[in-house]
Amino acid sequence: MRVYISVDMEGVSGVTRWQDVIAAGQDYQRARSWMTADVNAAIAGARSGGATEFVVEENHGVEMLCNLVLDEIDPDCDVVRGIPRAGSTTAAALDDSFDAMFLVGHHAKAGDRVGFCAHTISYERYKSVRVNGHPVGEGEIFAIMAAQQGVPSALVTGDDIVTTEMAKVCPGIETVVVKQALSRTGGRIIPPERAQRLIRDGARRAIERTKQREIAVIDVTPPFDIEVELREPLRDEIRESINSHHPEFVVRGDRTLAFVHDDMSVAYRMAAVSQVLEAEGRVRSY
């Protein structure tokens, strides 16, 4: 039984603030180990439930998506890290060969008033990302990508906000709360050692329930109308450049870039590219 694990950093046990997830932060090196240990806990739990193969893909967008400590990670998994990658970049290894997807260390979506380090794709530039008019987080985007490959989303670990969000999107998903958010940079933390015990138990249940077909692939129907609402209005020259050079994007209002696509893995990459506006107002080619 093969398990795909997407790991982010903001939702791992112990992480509390933005400074924890950037290279210059006081606890960043500790957070790398917490992140790695959360993955190891998920693998150990899944293995005890009957899973046999694991591919871990890094999704945290600093240090060229190289944050896991490879000297500490379970030696029987494969790790996808570094950029660029083929496909959607942060889900390059996700395909229909997997039996389940785990979301480890994921976080709440942009616009959530509370939720540790809540954002979608971009910390600074994106006010909201919407799919068919519905605000989404990265976890929901990953769940749609997995569904298009026929893979069920079986586990999510993170704070109480993201786990609640994902339970609504993926009925039956196993959720593990490793901290309770009181704001975007504060809350009630379960120490990593105890949190990882919870992750192991949750991962085991997720695999057992997947094998029993208690966790199903969610129903998704393309096309997907994607809107990326920026925090700042687009300047006229940027708007003109997008209209002239990138007809796949449509400017809606004074700050929203929109496009339509049938494949969520491509749409995710296009949404990420929307933030990369060059000084001359061009969207970098994807």
Quick: pLDDT tens for 67-114: 999 999 999 999 999 999 987 778 999 999 999 999 999 999 999 989
Answer yes or no: is pLDDT of 286 > 90: no
CB atoms within 10 A of CB 239: 16
Whether 155 and 235 share a structural domain: no
Whether 88 and 196 share a structural domain: yes
Distance of CA 124 to the CA centre of its chain: 16
pTM, two decimal places: 0.94
Q: Are 198 and 179 in contact (CB under 8 A)?
A: no
pLDDT at 71: 98
Q: Phi then psi for 285, rounded to 5 degrees?
A: -60, 140
Q: How many domains does the chain have?
A: 2
pLDDT at 194: 98
Answer yes or no: is pLDDT of 204 > 50: yes
> Does any domain span residue 261?
yes
Distance CA 162, CA 173 (A): 12
> Does any domain span residue 286?
no
Count CA atoms within 13 Å of residue 251 on its CB side.
Answer: 18
Among the listed ranges 98-107, 161-170, 212-221, 266-275, which one has the minimum average pLDDT value? Answer: 266-275
pLDDT at 276: 59
Burial annotation 172-204 (CB, 10 A radius, 16+ → b, else e): bbbbbbbbebeebeebebbebeebbebbbbbbb
Q: Identify the helix (H) or strand (E) that includes residue 7.
A: strand 2-7
> Does any domain span residue 75?
yes
